[in-house]
């Protein structure tokens, strides 16, 4: 009869273990089924703490709250007896020295207690304890049932532990997935923004190019009538329109000079717009300095001779090659030499010097001219800046163009006044990367 009841209870417990993964429910179903199956007063599951130092009530049936909360149970003697393969039976709680909470047990009406181990394989995880209100013993059949119930409880605990771990992992995975989804959304958003910004930048760049193109086209249209006026004036000035009075000639010469200045200004503005649009320079290639220097000196030779300014060259032989656009380099050097001759009084000296350095070529133009006031130095290479001490007309764009061209070559340009060597005039210097080095710098 007991066997039948026991099997039925075990079946229910096993079902509980299988059907619910909530460990507390399983343990509760175990203590309830056991109590009923063996006709006991109550039943409890006491689990062993991780350090195996205490047994604590985890599920109970038929016991008062006060009793369950009496405190943890010392497992020492139980562990010893379990190790010997025994169950721990206390037939008279009031007289048994092993009972820890005697008064509480008596007050609860407990007379005898049987403890069976809850084993998970070789490991003891807790104790299934059966309480009776009379002194009683248990049949071998009952003991088998109790041990099976206890072990099912241990299994439930283990599965629950695994399940919890899986649940936790699942939860982490879900969080991770949500995080990833959020990141994906942010990433898409950022990509979208980046695309928008890129489009915006392209639009701005196109606008800038349009504006520069407009400056260039407008420059050309401004130049056309001036070029016609200048051509007419040249016809008259060079005598192709017959004799003209000296006074008219003088007026026309001045007018022609002003027109030429204006054409020069427009040409410079057009150059700047093309430099800005990246269109003025042709591809940089290996260029000899020879013709650059020769052509630039030719431009200033006449004026220098008229003003009795000596042109001195300090050049290494042979002249080094540079990476550059020959015409633009000529424009730079011509500009510096014209400035030097223009701002140097008669009888002065203008020196052109080329020096080879380990990683660059240094080109210097020295003069004994009027120099540059200190307050002008920071603005020297700005667009439309004119020195505060100059009277000669100019566009204020020459040095701005020089700076852009030199920098487009990967070089630097600067000025010193007075010239540190002579203590007078000024020294303009610019560098150009040596042939073969400009490309490396460009990649950095």
Partner 1 sequence: MTEKTTEGAKILVVDDDPDMRDAIGMMLEPAGFQVIMAKDGEEALLKLAAERPNLMLLDLLMPRKDGFAVLKELHEEEKWRAYDSMPIVVLSSVREEPARRRYHLETAVQFAADDYVEKPVSPTALLQRVKAALAKTSTARQK
Q: Is 252 in the site for partner 1 (CB under 8 A)?
A: no
Q: Least distance to partner 1 from the beta carbon of 279, Å?
A: 7
Q: Least distance to partner 1 from the beta carbon of 398, Å?
A: 16
Classify residue 379 by its DSSP letter. G
Q: Which of 277/315 has CB closer to partner 1?
A: 277
- The distance from CA 100 to its chain's CA centroid, rounded to whole angstroms, is 66
Q: Which of 279/305 has CB closer to partner 1?
A: 279
Q: Is 253 in the site for partner 1 (CB under 8 A)?
A: no
Q: Which two tokens stand for residue 145?
A: 């049932």
Residue 134 to residue 163: CA distance in whole angstroms: 40
The 276-295 site mask, x for binding partner 1 (CB under 8 A), equals ---xx-x-------------
Packing angle of the helix pair 2-19, 23-38 (nearest 10 deg): 170
Q: Are 16 and 8 in contact (CB under 8 A)?
A: no
Q: By CB under 8 A, how many residues form the interface with partner 1?
A: 24
Q: Is 227 in the site for partner 1 (CB under 8 A)?
A: yes
Q: Are 226 and 266 in contact (CB under 8 A)?
A: yes
Q: Which stretch binds partner 1 (CB under 8 A): 27-35, 117-125, 226-234, 284-292?
A: 226-234
Residue 62 to residue 40: CA distance in whole angstroms: 9
Q: Are 386 and 392 in contact (CB under 8 A)?
A: no
Q: Is 228 in the site for partner 1 (CB under 8 A)?
A: yes
Q: What angle do CA 128, 61, 105 make, to 5 degrees?
A: 75
Q: Which of 221/356 has CB closer to partner 1?
A: 221
Q: Which two tokens stand for residue 101?
A: 């909470």
Helix (H) or strand (E) holding 246: helix 246-276
Q: Is 223 in the site for partner 1 (CB under 8 A)?
A: yes
Residue 319 to residue 224: CA distance in whole angstroms: 40
Q: Which stretch binds partner 1 (CB under 8 A): 3-11, 91-99, 217-225, 382-390?
A: 217-225
Question: Whose structure tokens read 């169950």?
Answer: 87
Residue 304 to residue 302: CA distance in whole angstroms: 5
Of residues 137-156, which lie at the interface with partner 1 (CB under 8 A)? none
Q: Least distance to partner 1 from the beta carbon of 331, Å?
A: 10
Of residues 309-348, which lie at the interface with partner 1 (CB under 8 A)? 327
Q: Least distance to partner 1 from the beta carbon of 290, Å?
A: 19
Q: Least distance to partner 1 from the beta carbon of 339, Å?
A: 21
Q: Are 57 and 71 in contact (CB under 8 A)?
A: no
Q: Which stretch binds partner 1 (CB under 8 A): 76-84, 175-183, 237-245, 363-371?
A: 237-245
The residues of the shown chain that bind partner 1, judged by CB under 8 A, are: 220, 223-232, 234-235, 238, 240-241, 259-260, 263, 274, 279-280, 282, 327
């Amino acid at each position: 009869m007991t066997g039948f009841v026991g099997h039925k209870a075990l079946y229910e417990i096993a079902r509980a273990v299988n059907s619910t993964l909530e460990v507390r429910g399983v343990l509760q179903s175990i203590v309830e089924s056991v109590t009923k199956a063996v006709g006991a007063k109550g039943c409890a599951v006491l689990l062993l703490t991780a350090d195996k130092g205490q047994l604590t009530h985890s599920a109970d049936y038929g016991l008062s709250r006060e009793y369950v909360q009496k405190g943890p149970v010392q497992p020492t003697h139980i562990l010893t007896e379990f190790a010997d393969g025994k169950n721990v039976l206390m037939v008279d709680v009031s007289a048994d020295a092993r009972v820890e909470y005697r008064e509480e047990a008596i007050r609860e009406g407990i007379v005898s207690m049987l403890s069976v181990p809850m084993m998970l394989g070789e490991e003891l995880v807790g104790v299934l304890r059966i309480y009776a209100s009379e002194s009683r013993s248990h049949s071998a059949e009952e003991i088998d049932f109790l041990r099976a119930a206890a072990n099912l409880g241990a299994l439930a605990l283990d599965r629950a532990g695994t399940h919890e771990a899986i649940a936790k992992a699942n939860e982490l995975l879900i969080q991770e997935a949500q995080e990833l989804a959020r990141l994906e959304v942010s990433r898409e958003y950022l990509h979208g923004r980046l695309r928008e910004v890129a489009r915006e930048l392209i639009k701005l760049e196109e606008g800038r190019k349009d504006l520069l193109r407009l400056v260039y086209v407008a420059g050309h249209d401004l130049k056309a009538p001036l070029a016609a006026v200048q051509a007419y004036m040249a016809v008259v000035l060079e005598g192709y329109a017959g004799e003209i009075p000296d006074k008219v000639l003088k007026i026309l010469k001045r007018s022609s000079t002003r027109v030429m200045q204006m054409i020069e200004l427009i040409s410079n503005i057009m150059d700047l717009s093309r430099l800005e649009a990246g269109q003025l320079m042709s591809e940089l290639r290996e260029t000899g300095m020879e013709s650059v220097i020769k052509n630039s000196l030719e431009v200033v030779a006449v004026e220098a001779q008229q003003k009795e300014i000596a042109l001195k060259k300090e050049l290494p032989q042979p002249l080094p090659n540079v990476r550059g656009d020959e015409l633009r380099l000529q424009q730079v050097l011509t500009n510096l030499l014209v400035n030097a001759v223009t701002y140097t009084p008669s009888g002065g000296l203008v020196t052109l010097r080329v020096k080879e350095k380990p990683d660059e070529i240094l080109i210097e133009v020295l003069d004994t001219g009027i120099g540059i006031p200190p307050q002008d130095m920071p603005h020297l290479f700005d667009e439309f800046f004119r020195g505060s001490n100059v009277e000669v007309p100019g566009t204020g764009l020459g040095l701005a163009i020089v700076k852009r061209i030199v920098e487009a070559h990967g070089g630097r340009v600067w000025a010193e006044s007075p010239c540190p060597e002579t203590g007078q005039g000024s020294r303009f210097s610019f560098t150009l990367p040596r042939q073969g080095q400009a490309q490396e710098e460009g990649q950095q």
